[in-house]
Amino acid sequence: MKNFISAADVTNIDSLVSSALAYKADPLKDKSLGANKRVGMLFLNPSMRTRLSTQIAAQNLGAEPIIFNVDKEGWALEFEEEAIMSGNTVEHVKDAAPVMGNYFDILCIRTFPSLKNKEDDYSELCINQFIKYSGIPVVSLESATLHPLQSLTDIITITEKFKEKRKPKIVLTWAPHVKALPQCVANSFSQWVNAWGKADFVITHPEDYELDPQFTKGGTITHDQDAALKDADFVYVKNWSTYEDYGKIYNNDPEWMLTNEKLLLTNNAKVMHCLPVRRNVELSDEILDGPSSIVTQEASNRVWAAQAVLAEILRGKERK
Ligand code: CP
Ligand 1 pocket residue status of 274, Cβ below 6 Å = yes
Ligand 1 pocket residue status of 49, Cβ below 6 Å = yes
Residue 2 lies in a domain: no
Q: Could you tell me which of 61, 132, 1, 71 has the C-alpha nearest to residue 304? A: 61
Ligand 1 nearest-atom number relative to CA 53: 8
* β-sheet bridge partners, residue 219: 217
Residue 162 lies in a domain: yes
Can you tell me the mean pLDDT for 74-86? 96
Its domain, for residue 26, covers 7-146+302-319
Quick: pLDDT tens for 1-50. 999 999 999 999 999 999 999 999 999 999 999 999 999 999 999 999 99
Cα 235 to ligand 1 centre (Å): 19
Ligand 1 pocket residue status of 169, Cβ below 6 Å = no
Domain match, 181 and 193 both: yes
Q: Could you tell me which of 244, 243, 233 has the C-alpha nearest to residue 266? A: 233
pLDDT number for residue 249: 95
Residue 165, domain CATH: 3.40.50.1370
Domain match, 181 and 108 both: no
Domain match, 137 and 213 both: no
Angle at which helices 302-319 and 148-161 pack, to 10 degrees?
120
Give phi and psi for 138, each to the nearest 5: -115, 130
Ligand 1 pocket residue status of 50, Cβ below 6 Å = yes
Ligand 1 nearest-atom number relative to CA 50: 8
Ligand 1 nearest-atom number relative to CA 275: 1
Tell me the best of 42, 43, 49 to mutate to test the pocket of ligand 1, counting ligand atoms within 8 Å of each CB and taking the most.
49
pLDDT number for residue 318: 63
Q: At residue 256, does pLDDT exceed 70?
A: yes
Cα 24 to ligand 1 centre (Å): 19
Cα 12 to ligand 1 centre (Å): 25
Higher pLDDT, 311 or 251: 311
Residue 75 lies in a domain: yes
Q: Could you tell me which of 240, 164, 255 has the C-alpha nearest to residue 208? A: 240
Domain match, 295 and 308 both: no
Domain match, 124 and 223 both: no
Can you tell me the mean pLDDT for 218-239? 98
Can you tell me the mean pLDDT for 97-120? 96
When the pLDDT of each residue in the chain is averaged and rounded to a whole number, the result is: 97
Domain match, 28 and 17 both: yes
pLDDT number for residue 252: 86
Which 8-state DSSP code applies to residue 293? B
Quick: pLDDT tens for 130-187. 999 999 999 999 999 999 999 999 999 999 999 999 999 999 999 999 999 999 999 9
Domain match, 110 and 192 both: no
Can you tell me the mean pLDDT for 113-136? 96
Residue 280 lies in a domain: yes
Domain match, 263 and 309 both: no
Domain match, 182 and 293 both: yes
Can you tell me the mean pLDDT for 243-264? 95
Q: With pLDDT > 90 as the criterion, what percentage of the chain qualifies?
A: 98
Contact 219, 191 (CB under 8 A): no
In whole angstroms, what is the distance from residue 13 CA to residue 1 CA? Answer: 12
In whole angstroms, what is the distance from residue 93 CA to residue 81 CA? Answer: 9
Ligand 1 pocket residue status of 275, Cβ below 6 Å = yes
Q: At residue 226, does pLDDT exceed 70?
A: yes
Domain match, 99 and 225 both: no
Cα 182 to ligand 1 centre (Å): 13
In whole angstroms, what is the distance from residue 188 CA to residue 203 CA? Answer: 13
Quick: pLDDT tens for 275-310. 999 999 999 999 999 999 999 999 999 999 999 999
Can you tell me the mean pLDDT for 80-98? 97
Ligand 1 pocket residue status of 283, Cβ below 6 Å = no
Q: How many residues does the chain have?
A: 320
Residue 189 lies in a domain: yes
Residue 236 lies in a domain: yes
What is this structure's pTM?
A: 0.97
Domain match, 137 and 175 both: no
Quick: pLDDT tens for 48-59. 999 999 999 999
Closest CA to ligand 1's atom 3: 50
Cα 84 to ligand 1 centre (Å): 34
Domain match, 119 and 16 both: yes
Q: How many domains does the chain have?
A: 2
